[in-house]
């Protein structure tokens, strides 16, 4: 039996249908694969992304904002999407285990992740969130609260926030207790609610944590055997979409770092997954990181059709 942290992307949940029912349907299918994995004797903690979901929520907040109904700040919106997606996963997994007659408790946790107040990203925010504005509208919005707006791929101006490096799972003792009790916990959703420490207080900040980096911290915290990052393909590739494209199956940390330096992985998609995987494995001969699709989760124990990174 292995202890695994499974990281499920927010874009994998919101494929084409952004409705409540559409996303629930995707998660229901994902729950079947996760349940198969658990039935094979694996222990699991699940975390998830929330990029498109929190973006949609920010749009809804903005559209409905007025003096009596102010928009929630970003840390609250991250918590809100943690709650909704966590509920969908919790509900789907409980139902799937019930169908199989498997006695497996499941719970979702609204998780805070501490970041460093001095993280460089707070001085140079770069993560775009929320709606698009014209240059004039962006300048007006910026005057309201000092937020930073930048032009985004010729489509208009968007608010940009920090994406600091996650440092600590605040609720780590609770998560560890659940692991020891054999509970399947859903936590660290959307990278966790980013908080900084001020004295002995934790304070939410306008930032977005990367889900894959938070999953790495979570996996390290609970001393997981494997970090499993689920994406849209069975393997990662070098020379992707080129005639000499090659699927990677088993690679070392050194090989992965070499491919990173050669620029094989896009910064906005595969790169953070590779970096999180390398960070988890580095220095630990017994640890493995796996990057594959959710449909291929069943093949992880055999190592077939997946990318495995080891020391």
Q: List the catalytic residue out of 49, 51, 55, 211.
A: 211
Does the annotation mark 258 as catalytic? no
Residue of 11, 91, 95, 296 with catalytic role: 11
For residue 76, the number of C-alpha atoms closer than 13 Å in the C-beta half-sphere is: 6
- C-alpha distances out from residue 52 to 70, 93, 200, 277, Å: 21, 22, 33, 23
Give every CB contact of residue 288 below 8 A, 6+ residues apart in sequence: 225, 226, 227, 281, 308, 309, 310
**Active-site hit among 28, 127, 172, 298:** 127
- List the end-to-end C-alpha distance of the chain, in Å, as a whole number: 20
Q: Which of 32, 159, 273, 288 is catalytic?
A: 273
C-alpha distances (whole Å) from 145 to each of 31, 48, 140, 205 are 41, 30, 10, 14
The set of residues, in sequence order, having a beta carbon less than 8 Å from that of 235 and lying 6+ positions away, is: 247, 248, 249, 291, 292, 305, 306, 307
71, 62 Cβ separation under 8 angstroms: yes
Q: Which one of the listed residues 4, 9, 10, 189 is annotated catalytic?
A: 10
Which two tokens mark 237? Answer: 């590739």
Q: What is the DSSP letter of 223?
A: T
273 is a catalytic site residue: yes
Known catalytic membership, residue 10: yes
DSSP H/E element including 121: none
What are the residue numbers of the active site? 10-11, 127, 211, 273
């Amino acid at each position: 039996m292995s202890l695994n942290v499974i990281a499920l992307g927010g874009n994998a949940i919101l494929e084409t249908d952004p409705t409540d029912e559409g996303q629930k349907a995707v998660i229901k299918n994902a729950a079947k694969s996760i349940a198969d994995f658990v039935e094979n004797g694996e222990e699991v903690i699940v975390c998830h992304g929330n990029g498109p979901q929190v973006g949609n929520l920010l749009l809804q907040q903005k559209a409905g904002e007025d003096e009596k109904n102010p928009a929630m700040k970003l840390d609250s919106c991250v918590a809100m999407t943690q709650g909704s997606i966590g509920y969908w996963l919790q509900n789907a997994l409980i139902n799937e285990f019930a169908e199989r007659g498997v006695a497996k408790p499941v719970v979702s946790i609204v998780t805070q992740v501490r970041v460093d107040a001095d993280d460089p990203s707070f001085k140079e925010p770069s993560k775009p969130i929320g709606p698009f504005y014209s240059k004039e509208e962006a300048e007006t919005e910026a005057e309201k609260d000092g937020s930073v707006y930048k032009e985004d791929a010729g489509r208009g101006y968007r608010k940009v926030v920090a994406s600091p490096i996650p440092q600590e799972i605040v609720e780590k003792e609770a998560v560890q207790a659940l692991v020891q009790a054999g509970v399947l916990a859903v936590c660290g959703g959307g990278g966790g609610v980013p908080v900084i420490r001020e004295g002995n207080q934790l304070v939410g900040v306008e930032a977005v944590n990367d889900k894959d980096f938070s999953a790495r911290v979570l996996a390290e915290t609970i001393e997981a055997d494997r970090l499993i990052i689920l994406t849209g393909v069975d393997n990662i590739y070098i020379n992707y979409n080129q005639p000499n494209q090659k699927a990677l199956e088993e690679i070392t940390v050194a090989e992965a770092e070499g491919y990173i330096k050669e620029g094989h992985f896009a910064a906005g998609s595969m790169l953070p997954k590779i970096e999180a995987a390398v960070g988890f494995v580095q220095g630990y001969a017994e640890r493995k990181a796996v990057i594959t699709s959710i449909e291929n989760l069943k093949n992880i124990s055999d190592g077939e059709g997946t990318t495995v990174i080891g020391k």
